[in-house]
């Protein structure tokens, strides 16, 4: 049975601490309680401030008074230097077992049966993990097997201005995709079962960590919206086979439309009414993979990424991008935004690399402040609950807001036909890509999966290394060999490197300990939430499929 947990508390307010049974992530204010001998916290007031704005405004900064929170991540060594002047001169570091406890708290692995009753799977399995910087974490992840059609769905979701939208999208999007892929006869069968009160055909088999909960309170509302969608698909039946790319695009757009509509209509239940508004006024990016045999589709909205790990003939590893960031660094995306608005707005559309000077991703779910008219925003806020009406964030109107919508959830879909040399896929939120280059990600995961990480020569990258330093690096390698690298999960292994790598590209335990010991209000200054899914492909099956086509 898949554990289902209530989302009531964390969705009410991001300023509220996450309940321990929902988020057993070791936050740094709690480390002194959990590991009483290893950590202390200077400047206690920094760890206890209300976190709503502090967490959300790295991606969205609506007012100048919050601009200071948006400064770029500082050099970590500077922080350590500042701490030298604290009143307590001692430093307490986490031990390796304590570091492992933090890193492994949210890891999950799933091995796919070679034959699932319908076809031989091209996926061997996947590993996933999350490391929070925000409290509560604003990232989400999902994985499921499609039961009425072929294939697997996997996705990462990066929330901003709170976690409500990312939570809703992680629960709902795969159902919309699965329904979009269903043949007309199956849709009719499901609708007739609902009409007659019979048990429904299961659509998805979820693969979830116990902490990846579902919102029980909103399940009926979500089901009703989904049912309306499949009823419309039945009415629009064209008799043609559903194209995967079209299904992905339609599902993304329809879910975002339903999120908007639910917030406009409201709900007589006060909790649900506040929930749908929280979902709509926060936002989330999404990067989703659909794998069916040798057919791999990536649907991306925002700045999370998909990367393919390819093993070359000489055994080396290379990275192939399967998504493009939708932000100011993407010239095509900037041009798209400009083409959708009058020339008179050209100078105000993108400022300081942000949409309207505020939002970093140019595509996202929710974020109705960048989609609704000013009149609609005011009407919904004024008629909404007091918590919404008293919130400065929801009442704020973006500057130069003349021709909405400025934001879309429509994904960019990329197709790739898998080859035997395509060994794995990495889906990750931008917290990983801010700290690691894709080529390093491909090498680290590839060497981990093939077990050759101990055999590679040590690279020092042009640094002048003393004999003592080289001895230290070799000693560290020997320790890693004896502990089998500590990780049985590829995503955990990648997070360990993302947070703890030194200038030589190897994990520095002291650095890793320091980074994991940062107080929660400072952790976000140095990194973002990190969520990773590593999908391992079955090269034998892919090769056999390739031979059949010849």
Residue 332: how many CA atoms within 13 Å on its side-chain side? 4
Q: Which of 333, 395, 407 is nearest to 370 (CA)?
A: 407
Query: What's the pTM?
Result: 0.81
pLDDT of residue 393: 72
Q: Which of 211, 299, 214, 204 is nearest to 248 (CA)?
A: 299
Tell me what percent of the chain is helix, strand and coil, each rounded to the nearest 5: 40, 20, 40
Dihedrals φ, ψ of 46, to 5°? -65, -30
pLDDT (tens digit, 9 = 90+) per residue, 438-462?
999 999 999 999 986 444 454 545 5
Locate 200 and state its tokens.
């429904």
**Strands (DSSP E) found in 167-260:** 204-206
Cis peptide before 405 (omega within 30 of 0): yes
How are beta strands 123-131 and 365-366 bridged, if at all? unpaired
Q: pLDDT grade, residue 516 (50/70/90)?
A: very high
Q: With 50 as the cut, is the pLDDT of residue 349 above it?
A: yes
pLDDT of residue 503: 81
Residues 80/81/86/88 CA torsion (nearest 10 deg)? 70
pLDDT of residue 151: 93
Q: What is the DSSP string of 297-315?
A: EEEEESS-EEEEEEE-TTS
Alpha helices in 353-437, H assignment, sequence order:
374-383, 386-389, 392-395, 430-433
Averaged over 110-116, what is the pLDDT? 77
pLDDT of residue 396: 84
Averaged over 491-511, what is the pLDDT? 91
415 sits in which H/E element: strand 412-417
pLDDT of residue 549: 74
d(CA 270, CA 283): 21
Averaged over 162-176, what is the pLDDT? 97
Lowest mean pLDDT across 107-121, 327-341, 421-435: 107-121
Residue 315: how many CA atoms within 13 Å on its side-chain side? 8
Q: What is the DSSP string of 220-243?
A: HHHHHHHHHHHHHHHHT--SSPPP
Locate 458 and state its tokens.
């040590």
pLDDT (tens digit, 9 = 90+) per residue, 188-236?
999 999 999 999 889 999 999 988 888 889 999 999 999 999 999 999 9
pLDDT (tens digit, 9 = 90+) per residue, 254-281?
999 999 999 999 889 999 999 999 999 9
pLDDT above 70 as % of the chain: 76
143 and 208 in contact (C-beta within 8 Å)?
Answer: yes
Q: 96-549 has which CATH code?
A: 3.60.40.10
Question: Which SS3 state, helix, strand or coil, does residue 279 take?
Answer: helix
d(CA 173, CA 167): 10
d(CA 219, CA 144): 18
Lowest mean pLDDT across 20-34, 183-197, 303-317, 356-370: 20-34
Query: What is the C-alpha end-to-end distance of the chain, expressed in Å?
Result: 42
Strand partners for 145: 152, 205
How many CB atoms are closer than 10 A to CB 26?
A: 20
d(CA 68, CA 290): 40
d(CA 154, CA 428): 11
- Exposure string for 225-243, b = 16+ CB within 10 A, e = fewer: bbeebbeebeeeeeeeebe
What is the tally of helices (H) and strands (E) in the chain? 23, 15
How are beta strands 204-206 and 295-301 bridged, if at all? unpaired
Dihedrals φ, ψ of 275, to 5°? -60, -50
Dihedrals φ, ψ of 130, to 5°? -140, 145
pLDDT (tens digit, 9 = 90+) per residue, 229-238?
999 999 998 7
Residues 41/162/326/329 CA torsion (nearest 10 deg)? -40
């Amino acid at each position: 049975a898949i554990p289902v947990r209530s989302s009531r508390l964390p969705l009410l307010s991001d300023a509220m601490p996450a309940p321990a049974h929902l988020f057993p992530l070791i936050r740094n204010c709690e480390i002194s309680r959990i590991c009483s001998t290893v950590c202390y916290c200077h400047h206690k007031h920094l760890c206890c401030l209300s976190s709503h704005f502090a967490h959300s405004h790295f991606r969205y900064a609506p007012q100048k008074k919050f601009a200071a929170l948006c400064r770029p991540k500082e050099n970590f060594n500077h922080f350590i230097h500042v701490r030298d002047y604290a009143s307590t001169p001692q430093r307490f570091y986490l031990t390796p077992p304590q570091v492992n406890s933090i890193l492994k708290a949210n890891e999950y692995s799933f091995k796919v049966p070679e034959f699932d009753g319908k076809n031989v799977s091209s996926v061997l399995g996947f590993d996933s993990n999350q490391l929070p910087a925000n409290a509560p974490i604003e990232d989400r992840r999902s994985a499921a097997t499609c039961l009425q059609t072929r294939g697997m769905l996997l996705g990462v979701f990066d929330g901003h201005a709170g976690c409500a939208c990312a939570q809703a999208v992680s629960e709902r999007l795969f159902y919309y995709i699965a329904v979009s892929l269903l043949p007309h006869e199956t849709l009719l069968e499901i609708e007739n079962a609902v009409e007659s009160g019979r048990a429904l055909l299961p659509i998805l088999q979820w693969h979830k960590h116990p902490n990846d909960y579902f919102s029980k309170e909103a399940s009926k509302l979500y089901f009703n919206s989904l049912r309306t969608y499949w009823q419309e698909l039945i009415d629009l039946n064209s008799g043609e086979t559903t194209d995967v790319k079209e299904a992905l695009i339609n599902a993304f757009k329809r879910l975002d439309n339903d999120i908007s509509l639910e917030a406009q209509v409201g709900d007589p239940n006060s909790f649900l009414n506040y929930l749908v508004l929280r979902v709509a006024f926060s936002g989330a990016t999404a990067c989703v993979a659909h794998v069916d045999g040798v057919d791999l589709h990536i649907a991306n909205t925002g700045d999370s990424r998909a990367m393919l790990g390819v093993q070359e003939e000489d055994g080396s590893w290379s990275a192939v991008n399967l998504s493009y960031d939708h932000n100011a660094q993407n010239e095509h995306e900037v041009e798209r935004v400009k083409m959708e608005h009058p020339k008179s707005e050209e100078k105000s559309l993108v400022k300081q690399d942000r949409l309207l000077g505020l939002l970093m991703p140019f595509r996202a779910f929710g974020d109705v402040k960048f989609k609704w008219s000013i009149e609609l925003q005011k009407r919904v806020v004024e008629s909404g609950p007091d918590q919404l009406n008293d919130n400065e964030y929801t009442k704020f109107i973006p500057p130069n807001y003349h021709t909405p919508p400025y934001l879309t959830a429509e994904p960019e879909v990329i197709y790739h036909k898998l080859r035997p040399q395509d060994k794995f896929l990495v889906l990750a939120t931008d917290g990983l890509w801010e700290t690691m280059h894709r080529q390093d990600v491909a090498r680290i995961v590839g060497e981990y999966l093939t077990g050759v990480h101990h055999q590679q020569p040590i690279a020092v990258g042009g640094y002048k290394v003393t004999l003592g330093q080289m001895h230290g690096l070799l000693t560290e390698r020997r320790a890693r060999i004896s502990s089998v690298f500590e990780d049985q999960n590829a995503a955990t292994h990648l997070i360990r490197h993302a947070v703890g790598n030194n200038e030589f590209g190897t994990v520095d335990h002291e650095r890793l300990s320091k980074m994991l010991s940062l107080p929660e209000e400072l952790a976000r200054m140095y990194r973002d939430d990190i969520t990773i899914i590593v999908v391992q492909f079955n090269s034998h099956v892919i090769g056999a499929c390739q031979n059949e086509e010849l």
